[in-house]
Amino acid sequence: MIVMPTTYSPMTVARAFNVVEEFALSGRVLHVIYDRQTPRAAIIEADVEMFEGVPRHRVIAALDLQYKSALGRDIVAVERCWEDTHVLQAEGVCVDPAERDKGLATRLYEALILKCGITLISDFEQYDGGKMLWQKIARESDQIAVFVLDTELGAFWPYDGTKVIYDGGCIPEERIWSISPDQKCHGVVLVAEDKQRANQLMETTAPYRV
C-alpha cells in the first residue's frame, strides 16, 4: 500500500523530478512532478513552507508506478499500440484527505498521459477507491480513453478483434472487477491513454468501437 510523503525538499524535487505541469487551485500554485527513474509522481505546492525550520514543498497527492515490459502470457500484438509510449502500472494513488473531491487524482493521471507520453495501466488488485477513480476518469475525462484489457487472453474487450472505449458503464462491471475470494477477473486491467492518439490509431488500425 502506498504511503504518501508529506513533504519534499526543494533539493529532492530539483534532483529527482521534472515539473510537467503547473496549475492553480484554491489560490495556490501546484506542480505535477514526475520521477521517471523510480518511477513515481506527485502533486506538490509550488511555494516552499518551513517545517521545523527546514524548507519543504507540501505534497498534495502521490502516485507509485512500476514499469511493465510485458503483461500476461503473450500480448505482442497488443504492445504494438504502445510503441511510442512508456507503459507504467499504477500501484497506488493517495490524496491528502483535506484535498479530496477536487479532481487531483484525475489531474495527475492526465498530466502523465498527456505531458509525458505515458500509457497507464491499473493494478491487478483494485480496492473501492481505485475502482471509483477509474470509473470517474472513464466517465468524465475528455482527454483520456480507457480500455479494458485481459492480459491472459492478450486482447481488449470485447475480445473479438475490436476495441471498445470504456465509458464507466458500457461494459458489465462483473467482467472487469473480481470480488474476493473470486479471482476470475484477476488478469483484467484498465488501460488509460491519450484519447487523441487513440482516435488516430482507430483510423489506421483494426476496427474500434465506442
Give me the domain span that covers residue 62.
Answer: 7-204
> In which residue are the cell numbers 504492445 written?
79
Average pLDDT (167-195) is 86
Residue 209 lies in a domain: no
| Percent of the chain whose pLDDT exceeds 90 | 61
Q: With respect to residue 91, please indicate whether it lies within any of the assigned structural domains.
A: yes
Question: Please, what is the angle between helix 104-116 and helix 128-140, to 10°?
Answer: 60
β-pairing verdict for 86-95 and 118-121: parallel
Distance CA 96, CA 57 (A): 14
User: Can you give the three-state secondary structure of the chain, one letter per residue?
Assistant: CCCCCCEECHHHHHHHCEEEEEEEECCEEEEEEEECCCCEEEEEECCCEEECCEEEEEEEEEEEEEECCCCCCCCHHHHHHHCCCEEEEEEEEEECHHHCCCCHHHHHHHHHHHHHCEEEECCCCCCHHHHHHHHHHHHHCCCEEEEEEECCCCEECCCCCCCECCCCCCCCHHHCCCCCCCCCCCCEEEEEEEHHHHHHHHHHCCCCEC
Q: How many domains does the chain have?
A: 1
**What pLDDT score was predicted for residue 5?**
81
pLDDT in tens, 67-104: 876 554 444 345 455 555 688 999 889 999 999 999 99
CA distance 17 to 42: 9
Count Cβ atoms within 10 A of the Cβ of residue 65 and give its class: 0-12 exposed, 13-18 middle, 19 or more buried: buried
**199: in domain:** yes
Model pLDDT for residues 136-155, shown as the tens digit of each residue: 999 999 999 999 999 888 88
pTM of the model: 0.86
pLDDT band of 183, cuts 50, 70, 90: confident
If you average pLDDT over each of 10-19, 72-81, 162-171, which comes out highest? 10-19
The whole-number pLDDT of residue 180 equals: 63
Higher pLDDT, 122 or 126: 122
Residue 162 has pLDDT above 90, yes or no: no
Residue 1: inside a domain: no
* Three-state secondary structure readout of 153-204: CCEECCCCCCCECCCCCCCCHHHCCCCCCCCCCCCEEEEEEEHHHHHHHHHH
